[in-house]
Copies of this chain bind each other. A is one copy, B any other.
Amino acid sequence: MKVLVIGANGEIGQHVVKQIQNSDEHTVRAMVRKEEQAEELKKKGIDAVIANLEGNKRSIVKAAKGCDAVVFTAGSGGSTGPDKTLLVDLDGAVKSIEAAEEAGVDRFVMVSAMQANNRENWNEKIRHYYVAKHYADRMLEASNLNYTIVRPGGLLNEVGTGEVQIAENLDERGSIPREDVAKTVVTSLTEEHTYKRAFDLISGETEITDSLRNL
């Protein structure tokens, strides 16, 4: 598969790009916002395109053309206000979904947030963030794409263990290294058990491939 990674310069995105680049199965196209980010990636031999999630959808359609899958792992981040959360995490995500449809890309893997599907479990302090993720996920589910929605718990920068706990709804709270989130995303791409499914994800004791197969 040729995979367009949207948010390739993000903390999870960088892991996804690296893992796809190291795989025999897939090739990567990294979508970034700035010229210098694209240059940096091209120096490493990575196919990079520039498009802004707050800009016109056409540039995202162009980036997606010729790809077999899209991974969406962009986010406005914690340091910007709720207005950017709406524009990037919600509208930017839905533009990407529409762009995939328009470019004829069928497969779409979304990086969401643990329990974004359940209003009752949203963190009060960043409730607006959960609203944005919630509706991006619902718009994806309502699309014609073959989607997977990965909802990780608290994100850590530790080295990945490759072992996780996965379920449609985890009661337990937990965290997970970004490297393992990326590995789950990349493994999901061709794992049919994850097609048209959404699941919570935290660190656990089962190897990622096995965990996804048992979903």
A66 CB-CB contact with B under 8 Å = no
- A173 part of interface (Cβ distance < 8 Å): no
The verdict on A83 contacting chain B, using a C-beta distance below 8 Å, is yes
Contact A86 B85 (CB under 8 A): yes
Please report the total number of A residues contacting B with Cβ < 8 Å: 20
**Most chain-B CB neighbours within 10 Å: which of A57, A91, A94, A127?**
A91
Is A131 a contact partner of B82 (Cβ separation < 8 A)? Answer: no
Q: Which residues of B contact A91 (CB under 8 A)?
A: 119, 131, 134-135
Q: Which residues of B contact A119 (CB under 8 A)?
A: 57, 91
A127→B132 CA distance, assembly (Å): 14
Closest CB of chain B to A116's CB: distance in Å?
Answer: 12
Minimum CB distance partner of A120 in chain B: B56
Measured CB to CB, the residues of A under 8 A from B are: 57, 81-83, 85-87, 90-91, 94, 119, 127-128, 131-132, 134-135, 138-139, 142
